[in-house]
Amino acid sequence: MGRSRYLRTVHAGPDGGLDPQAPEALLECLAGVSERIGRPAVLIAMDDLSAIAVSRIATGLTDRFRIPHQPDNLPARVADKGELSRLCARWDVPHPETVIPASGAEAAEAAWSLGLPVIAKWSRPWLLPAGAEGLRSTLLVHTVAEARRLHERSAEAGSRLLLQRFLPAGPDTDWFFHGAFARGGRPLLAGSGRKEMSWPVRTGLTAVGRWLPDPAVEEAGLKLAERLGYQGILDLDFRRDERGTFRLVDFNPRPGAQFRLFTDASGLDVVQAMYLDLTGQRVPEPSGGPGRVFVAENYALLSVLRGGSLPRRLPAGPKPSAAEAAPKVPPVRPAPPVRPAVGARVVPGRRSGPVVAGQRSAPGAAAAVPAPAPASVESAGTAGRGPSRVLPRGERGRVEAAWFASDDPLPFLAMLAAFLGRGAGKGVRALRGVPAHGRRTARAVVRAPRQRGRDRPDAAGGGTAARPAPPEAPAEPDELVTR
């Protein structure tokens, strides 16, 4: 993104990286950025780590930056997988069945009772040591021995181990919710969407996503924001289970990588809505938007090559009347020139508005935009109603590319060169490891893991049947087939 013609300035981050447990270096760094900008600026964290660190030094930034009000270490609380599980239970938000074991034996028993395989997560993944072998934020555990061994590494991981019931992936199972909220959890712009392609397939980042209103997803997202009194931008991930229930699996207290998917007919997105609210300007009533498609070109290509297919155009809905089609609010007025801070990235091809975030952001990145003098006009959001659930004809199928913009092609070309370079490097390394005769490469096909112990009696059946004790010897995983 450093090649974008719209990027004016990049400010280096703290020396030695960002440490959320000791954010004083970030405070000093941002103070220097503020001095160079010369006036108050809007500060938007672009990843969990920087959101947590900024909230811990917020009191030292109030005179220099306009930042969302998030007291009581709120970003760290919602990003903590264990705390999120408790919040969901308290407020009746569907969540995968979760166990926090206190010992290796409890971890083994929990893995067996949940039904192997299970999902293992570290409650505070930002504390994981870099480069530690076998320690990832999320793992699929196939045996009770694996669960026991993982728990024994809790001290090394820096946080508690959680075990969750595995929810199989499939068509129409992965959904997300994006929103920008004013004080008190009042929605400025919000919407739900479906992940139609991902990379890695079924488990990774959004390669293709569509803005699709869903009442259950929207209700859960709006309820959480209201109960928390959340101000700022959030990105929630949901997985639909076998019974059709949407279960919240992740809470990200910052913009998601595909946030530009949620852009209304006037060009307003969640980052711009947050900018307008923080600078005291009027936030227009959102109009149109559902039906838009987001495509991350590099990930979509990889997903297609692995057997995926691009989503089809949605069927046309009823043609809106002239009154319905007429805009209800004036378009968003252009914002002052953008001056990004610490690793900030500017969306290519957007000439107006304070868009200061890209398709991906490096750890510790935060975006700063100079703020004008606060206006006296009160912000007007979408309080009292959810996002529109009608797919306007003008919005169906409109595509938001993550990288390509016709008036700013250099970021796309740079991404393409890096993408092809990495692919060529992997091909050369693979060929070097294959015997000269045949030059054949083994292929691994990963099947959907079988759920052991899932045939449990119904709640109406009167109690829970006794289960056999978990095996002490690890079972051989049968999900990986080599041919």
Is the CB of residue 42 less than 8 Å from the CB of residue 369? Answer: yes
The pLDDT value recorded for residue 361 is 39
Contacts of 140 (CB under 8 A, 6+ apart): 117, 118, 119, 120, 166, 449
pLDDT at 298 over 90: yes
Sign of the torsion formed by the C-alpha atoms of 424, 426, 432 and 437: negative
Query: What is the average per-residue pLDDT within 300-328?
Result: 60
pLDDT at 277: 97
Tell me the β-bridge partners of 176.
Answer: 193, 237
pLDDT tens track for 117-160 = 999 999 999 999 988 888 999 999 999 999 999 999 999 999 99
pTM: 0.75
Angle subtended at Cα 478 by Cα 446 and Cα 433, rounded to the nearest 5 degrees: 55
At 6 the pLDDT is 87
2-22 burial string, b = 16+ CB within 10 Å, else e? eebebbeebbebbeeebbbee
Q: What is the DSSP letter of 420?
A: H
Structure tokens at 466: 């006794």
* H/E element, 216: helix 215-228
**pLDDT for the residue numbered 299:** 92
- Which of 393-403 are b and which e, b meaning 16 or more Cβ less than 10 Å from the residue's Cβ? eebbbeebbbb
Closest CA relative to residue 120, chosen from 141, 106, 104: 141
Per-residue model confidence (pLDDT) at position 309: 61
Question: Higher-confidence residue: 241 or 310?
Answer: 241
Q: What is the end-to-end Cα distance of the chain in Å, rounded?
A: 40
Q: How confident is the model at residue 368 (pLDDT cuts 50, 70, 90)?
A: low
